Amino acid sequence: MINTQELVRRFSKLKSARGTWETHWQEIADYVLPRRADIVTKFSKGEKRTERVFDSSAINAAELLASSLHGMLTNAASPWFMMNYKEPGLNADDKAMEWLEECTKQMYVVLNRSNFQQEIHELYQDLITFGTAGMMIEQDEEKVLRFSTRHISEIYIQENEFGRVDTVYRKFKMSAKGAMSMFGDVSKKITKLSEAEPYEEIDLLHVVYPREDRNPNKIDAKNKPFASIYCDPEDNTLLGEGGYDEFPYVVPRFVKSSIETYGRSPAMTALPDIKMINKMSETLIKAAQKVIDPPLLVPDDGFMLPIRTVPGGLNFYRSGSRDRIEPLNTNANIGIGVEYEEQRRDAIRKAFYVDQLLLAQRVNMTATEVLQRNEEKMRMLAPVLGRLQGEMLQPLITRCFNIMLKMNMFPVPPESLQGQTIDIEYTSPLARSQRTGDITAASRMLEMLAPLAQMAPVFDFLDVDKFVKHTQEVLGVPAKIMKSEAEVAELREERAAQQQAMAQQQAELEQAKAAGQAAPMVEALKP
């Protein structure tokens, strides 16, 4: 039996523990992501949210980092993951690999047809701004998969003993009519409100957590590994109970302290510089206004008419008098302010990895130089990639695969695959770039060994076939432009046969030549 009072009590504790984060998030969002800056401060729909922003450096830097992560990790234009079998022998099984490749291809089709690309970009922006982001993955009857990035103000998270988020409380608003349609007449409060004020919004609570008291022998929704509970937190009314086979949320953290549940972001690192540059920009704007439209010195007598400062305005003064209207020189040094502003912009760019993302590339750079630049770029993002693989990409792909498997979106697998475990390998540009160090090292080795090859057979230590295959995998060369192992073997057999035939012809020619040279000698020796 679900104890809604206990759930609401746990929610109150999570809400209290998150209070200090909310003020921090609100301040960051005001300057970095104004359109989602309704955490503590509540805005009306359509209300302006950028009045506190005088410099957009942080907004642009955050958008650049979000777009870069989107392009490097989950780019719709290129494959960013593939699946392999944990059992090495199955990876050499043609039928098993054909089935897995077909499943991977089908997953890409479904992901691109869904709203994945829109919602994942929102997740990247939340991650960079707040340090914590949450996205729910649900089954959709029309498009198979449905993604929804939840606002940071709605979700409250809890970790398990391994530091993984396995509990999410989501407090959200829904109209009384929508709640009635979703849950039925299980609540007298909602029923009455839907009749009197159908579009009046009410607060609801959705809780997802590991279900410990389930019966694993049953497959109904109330015995699934993860519970899904909807309730009214005001009167502790249970509205609905269900479950999930796997955790439906992905909750990545950008970087995280071991003693904290929520993550920290580049925006938090850059917040002092962001606030400073906004204050400096505001001051410089006022200083520029004073230079362009300066305050006026006006005598305290003799001028009874109002001062006209508009272009072409006429102001009268006594003829022959030195009393006149003059501008007040404030001696504002705008240049110093602009210099300090640029220093703060540089600090903001560094916090958001802009310098690494926009590494200058010269004209006519060699392939090795390009690889080295990319390697340097990705080295800076390596810690982020490791956490995102474990907290975002891995559970995301697993969740999508299981939903599609339950909906029979894949072909029938061979019998040999029953009970086999599938591993996920990331093939995104960022993941490949982190492996280019192998190619760079191998290229350097070839350059060093080339002069020595004339003196000794040093290349006997190099397996060229393995080197080519490894280079293809790391660089992401399409498999369709590569010859298969069978084709390569056939080509080598033909080449060997041709070489053998040529060698045989050469031997026959030499034998014939030798025989021709020996014929006169034989004739001379005859009696």
Q: Is residue 446 scored above 80 in pLDDT?
A: no
Looking up tokens 């979106």 gives 409
- What pairs with residue 175 in β-bridges? 201
Residue 521 counted as domain residue: yes
Encoded tokens for 400: 């999508």
Does residue 432 have a pLDDT over 70?
no
Asked whether residue 313 is domain-assigned, the answer is: yes
pLDDT score, position 434: 60
Residue 302 has pLDDT above 60, yes or no: no
**Which of 155-169, 375-389, 411-425 is predicted most confidently?**
155-169
When computed from its CA atoms, the radius of gyration of the chain, rounded to whole angstroms, is 35
What tens digit of pLDDT does each residue of 212-221 get?
A: 888 888 888 8
pLDDT score of 362 more than 60? no
- Domain membership of residue 31 (yes or no) is no
Q: Are residues 521 and 488 in the same domain?
A: yes
Secondary-structure percent of the chain, ordered helix, strand, coil, rounded to 5: 55, 15, 30
Query: In this structure, which amino acid lies at residue 196?
Result: A
Residue 354 has pLDDT above 60, yes or no: yes
Q: How far apart are CA 264 and CA 354, in angstroms?
A: 18
Give yes or no: residues 522 and 487 share one domain.
yes
**Alpha-carbon distance 32 to 129, whole Å?**
7
Q: What is the mean pLDDT of residues 487-500?
A: 84
- Sequence-separated (6 or more) residues with CB below 8 Å from residue 4: 229, 231, 236, 237, 238
Cβ-contact 196, 186 below 8 angstroms: no
Q: Are residues 477 and 487 in the same domain?
A: no
Q: Kindly state the average pLDDT of the residues 165-170.
A: 96
DSSP letter string, 41-63: S---TT----TT-S--HHHHHHH
Q: Is residue 84 classed exposed, middle or buried when 0-12, 13-18 and 19+ CB atoms within 10 A define those classes?
A: middle
Residues 488 and 527 in one domain: yes
Give the tens place of pLDDT for each residue, 32-48: 999 999 899 888 888 88
List CB contacts of 397: < 8 A, sequence separation 6 or more: 81, 107, 424
Residue 12 lies in a domain: no
Backbone angles phi, psi at 86, to 5 degrees: -70, -30
In the chain, the amino acid numbered 343 is Q
Q: Which residues pair with 148 in a beta bridge?
A: 136
Is residue 327 scored above 80 in pLDDT? no
Q: Do both 493 and 522 map to the same domain?
A: yes
What mean pLDDT value characterizes the chain?
83
Residue 310 has pLDDT above 90, yes or no: no
Please say if the pLDDT value at position 371 is more than 60.
Answer: yes
Q: Quick one: which of 290, 320, 325, 328 has its CA closest to 305?
A: 325
For the chain, how many helices (H) and strands (E)? 16, 12
CA–CA distance, 172 with 154 (Å, rounded to integer): 6
> CA–CA separation, 499 vs 512, rounded Å?
20
Domain that holds residue 311: 295-328
- Is residue 525 scored above 60 in pLDDT? no
Beta pairing partners, 230: 206, 240
Q: How many domains does the chain have?
A: 3
Residue 453 confidence (pLDDT) above 80? no
Q: Distance between CA 71 and CA 436 in Å, rounded? A: 18
Predicted confidence band at 78 (pLDDT cuts at 50, 70, 90)?
A: confident
| pTM beyond 0.85, yes or no | no
Residue 497's pLDDT band, with cuts at 50, 70 and 90, is confident
CA distance readout (Å), 48 to 4, 35, 38, 39: 39, 9, 12, 15
Do 502 and 475 share a domain, yes or no? no
Residue pLDDT, tens place only, 4-35: 999 999 999 999 999 999 999 999 999 999 99
Weakest mean pLDDT among 295-309, 409-423, 486-500? 295-309
Q: What are the E-state strand segments in 273-418?
A: 296-297, 326-327
- Give residue 157's pLDDT: 96
Among 328, 353, 372, give the residue marking a domain's end. 328
Selection from 123, 130, 129 nearest residue 149 by Cα: 123
Q: Is residue 506 part of a domain?
A: yes
Segment 429-444 mean pLDDT: 67
Q: Are 297 and 327 in contact (CB under 8 A)?
A: yes
Residue 78 lies in a domain: no
On whether residue 149 sits in a domain, the answer given is: no
Q: What is the pLDDT confidence band of residue 115, given thresholds at 50, 70 and 90?
A: very high
Model confidence pLDDT, tens digit, residues 153-164: 999 999 999 899
Q: Is the torsion defined by CA of 247, 251, 253, 254 positive or negative?
A: positive
Judged against a pLDDT cut of 70, whether residue 518 lies above it is answered with no
Give the CB-side neighbour count of residue 430, counting CA atoms within 13 A: 25
pLDDT of residue 107: 94
Q: What is the pLDDT of residue 284?
A: 85
495 within domain boundaries:
yes
469 half-sphere exposure, CB direction, 13 A CA radius: 9
Residue 269 CB-density burial (10 A; 0-12 exposed, 13-18 middle, 19+ buried):
middle
Pairing of strands 237-244, 249-250: unpaired
Q: How far apart are CA 231 and CA 3, in angstroms?
A: 10
